[in-house]
């Protein structure tokens, strides 16, 4: 009886100790993955599920993407259609997109549940595009090809968007706490822009810190070489990843090419962003 008691007592103690350790680890992980504007958030930091990781072709290049909620997420917040992944037409490559909006006109609506705060951010972002680029975002009347801004998470800081012109209805999703500059970023995907850190020439300007990237997320840092890079690399581009995007330990996942840290403040368009969009939509 004594030995059995000792074993039972020891088992309970170990169980309590393991629970304590698990709680501590959970708290640490929760703290490290807290959503904020300097880290990829909700849709991009979900637990890695290898069953959802797929390979397909985009512009003739084999890419890795995540199949989630019936959508194909590329580089975290870019949604590719099944048709885009099925096509292998290099003639459609151009700029950074498979297809551009006819005459640079993008018709849009805003979901009724968006809320006034994000609706105001959309208005500000639309004004930036309409006053600084050759694209024109126009409220939809009865157009069949258009974008709807939809509401995402009530606690998140992020968004996602379909890439380029696809025809029919396509979406831009915005979380409650997203910044106006990040609304501009998601609209950039709609216009046809991919992320700056995936340019063909990126290794001349930045160094990817592979050891700091979350398990299973390294593919989000692969170079996308099937598009056409326009203008010089722009580390301050509104389309740039954060220095700690997908970090597993809070350390940078992207540094300058000389291995020094850089500070990135996504505040809106840079001159390089405007020039790139206007080259795509002359």
Domains identified in the chain, total number: 2
Domain boundary among 168, 191, 214: 191
Residues 64 and 105 in one domain: yes
Residues 185 and 214 in one domain: no
- pTM over the 0.75 mark: yes
The residues that bridge with 70 in the sheet, in sequence order, are: none
Residues 166 and 264 in one domain: no
Residues 173 and 231 in one domain: no
- Average pLDDT in the 138-158 region? 96
Confidence of residue 227 (pLDDT cuts 50, 70, 90): confident
Residues 105 and 204 in one domain: no
In a domain, 261, yes or no: yes
Domain boundary among 174, 191, 208: 191
φ, ψ of residue 78 in degrees (nearest 5): -100, 125
Interval 70-115: pLDDT, tens: 999 999 999 998 888 876 554 444 344 458 999 999 999 999 999 9
Judged by average pLDDT, the poorest of 4-13, 41-50, 102-111, 208-217 is: 4-13
**pLDDT at residue 265, as a whole number:** 84
| Average pLDDT of the chain to the nearest whole number | 83
Residue 121 confidence (pLDDT) above 60: yes
Please name which of 214, 215, 217 lies closest in space to residue 248, comparing C-alpha atoms: 214
| CATH for 137 | 3.40.390.10
Residue 44 confidence (pLDDT) above 50: no
Could you tell me which residue, 13 or 200, shows the higher pLDDT? 200
- CA gap 188, 162 in Å, rounded: 10
Residue 3 confidence (pLDDT) above 50: no
Residues 140 and 246 in one domain: no
Could you tell me which residue, 117 or 39, shows the higher pLDDT? 117
- CA gap 229, 197 in Å, rounded: 11
Residues 203 and 171 in one domain: no
In a domain, 60, yes or no: yes
Could you tell me which residue, 29 or 272, shows the higher pLDDT? 272
Residue range(s) defining the domain that contains residue 229: 196-280
**pLDDT at residue 51, as a whole number:** 75
Domain boundary among 143, 166, 191: 191
- CA gap 132, 277 in Å, rounded: 10
φ, ψ of residue 129 in degrees (nearest 5): -65, -45
- Average pLDDT in the 173-190 region? 97
**pLDDT at residue 87, as a whole number:** 67
In a domain, 242, yes or no: yes
The tokens for 247 are 């970090």
In a domain, 4, yes or no: no
% the chain with pLDDT above 70: 78
**pLDDT at residue 10, as a whole number:** 39
Residues 183 and 238 in one domain: no
- Average pLDDT in the 244-258 region? 97
Confidence of residue 49 (pLDDT cuts 50, 70, 90): low
**pLDDT at residue 50, as a whole number:** 66
């Amino acid at each position: 009886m004594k030995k059995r008691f000792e074993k039972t007592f020891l088992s309970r103690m170990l169980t309590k100790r393991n629970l304590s350790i698990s709680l501590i680890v959970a708290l640490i992980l929760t703290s490290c993955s807290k959503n904020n504007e300097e880290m990829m958030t909700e849709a991009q930091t979900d637990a890695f599920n290898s069953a959802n990781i797929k390979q397909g072709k985009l512009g003739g290049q084999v890419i890795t993407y995540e199949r989630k909620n019936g959508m194909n997420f590329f580089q975290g917040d870019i949604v590719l259609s099944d048709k885009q992944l099925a096509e292998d037409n290099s003639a459609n490559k151009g700029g950074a997109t498979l297809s551009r909006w006819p005459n640079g006109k993008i018709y849009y609506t805003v979901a009724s549940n968006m809320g006034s705060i994000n609706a105001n951010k959309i208005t500000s972002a639309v004004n930036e595009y309409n006053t600084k680029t050759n694209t024109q975002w126009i409220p939809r009347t009865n157009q069949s090809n258009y974008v709807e801004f939809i509401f995402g998470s009530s606690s998140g800081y992020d968004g996602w968007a379909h890439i380029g012109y696809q025809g029919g209805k396509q979406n831009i999703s915005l979380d409650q706490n997203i910044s106006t500059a990040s609304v501009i970023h998601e609209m950039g995907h709609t216009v046809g822009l991919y992320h700056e850190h995936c340019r063909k020439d990126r290794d001349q300007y930045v160094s990817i810190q592979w050891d700091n990237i979350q398990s299973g997320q390294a593919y989000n840092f692969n170079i996308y070489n099937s598009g056409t890079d326009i203008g010089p690399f722009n580390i301050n581009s509104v389309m740039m990843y954060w220095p700690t995007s997908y970090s597993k330990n809070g350390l940078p996942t992207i540094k300058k090419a000389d291995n020094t840290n850089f500070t990135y403040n996504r505040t809106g368009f840079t001159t390089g962003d405007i020039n790139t969009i206007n080259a795509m939509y002359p």
